[in-house]
Amino acid sequence: MQKFNTLKSIPAYLPIVNIDTDMIIPKQFLKTIKRTGLGKNLFFEMRYDDQGNEISNFVLNQNPYDSSKILIAGKNFGCGSSREHAPWALLDFGITCVISSSYADIFYSNCFKNGILPIILEEEKIKELSEYASRKEEISVDLNDEKIVYGNNEIKFDVDPFKKKCLLEGLDDIALSLKKSDKIESFETDLKNKKPWIFND
């Protein structure tokens, strides 16, 4: 997993509440277990018409928002099913930070496990950032200092210390387990000595 420290990007604003995981990545694209290749189908039903052509007035089809790494969204983002393909699709598109006033719990947790920083801000602050996004200017997200900088302004945000550590160090669940490999090996050795029959073929 890529380490997350600071991020600069022109943010894309999607002012829709209750965006569920099926809207983020529809069910017909869930057949793969690969984390790559899903970005082209992100927000599929909002990005493309029935003939598969891009819908020009959708924000992620417009320059420069089609290269945005930061998505500002309405409240309750990521609700619906618990599909991990949703953060995979965002990440594959290039989005590594989502800003909203609230998230579905499972989606929120899945973001951290996949290298995406989900930031929670008050609605008033969301409005400020959305207005700034319309000017097509970059904002900066600093995870270490837990702040967003735009123009001469600054917004502070809070992140759970453990989740913050995992993002800063690029630690997913597998990497966290590997950091404890010495203890795992010690446990297995001790178990073999005490209960060798468990390991018999």
Fold of 6-195: Aconitase; domain 4 (3.20.19)
Residue ranges for the chain with pLDDT beneath 50: none
List, in sequence order, the alpha helices (H) in the chain.
21-24, 44-47, 85-93, 105-113, 123-133, 161-169, 173-178, 181-194
Nearest to 72 by CA among 16, 155, 6, 153: 16
0.75 exceeded by the pTM?
yes
Per-domain boundaries in the chain: 6-195
In the DSSP assignment, the letter for residue 168 is H
Q: What is the dihedral of CA 153, 3, 99, 50, to 10 degrees?
A: 130
Transcribe 79-135 into DSSP letters.
BSS--THHHHHHHHHT--EEEES-B-HHHHHHHHHTT-EEEE--HHHHHHHHHHHTT
Partners of 14 in the beta sheet? 73
Predicted pLDDT of residue 36:
85
The 10s digit of each residue's pLDDT in 77-123 is: 999 988 899 999 999 999 999 999 999 999 999 999 999 999 999 99
Scanning the structure block, which residue is given the tokens 């809070």?
158
Question: Which of 159, 70, 73 is CA-nearest to residue 112?
Answer: 159
User: Which residues, other chains included, contact 78 with Cβ-Cβ below 8 Å and sequence gap of 6+?
Assistant: 19, 20, 21, 24, 86, 103, 104, 106, 107, 108, 110, 111
For position 154, what pLDDT does the model report? 96
CA 14 to chain centre: 15
Position 180 scores a pLDDT of 61
* pLDDT for 197: 77
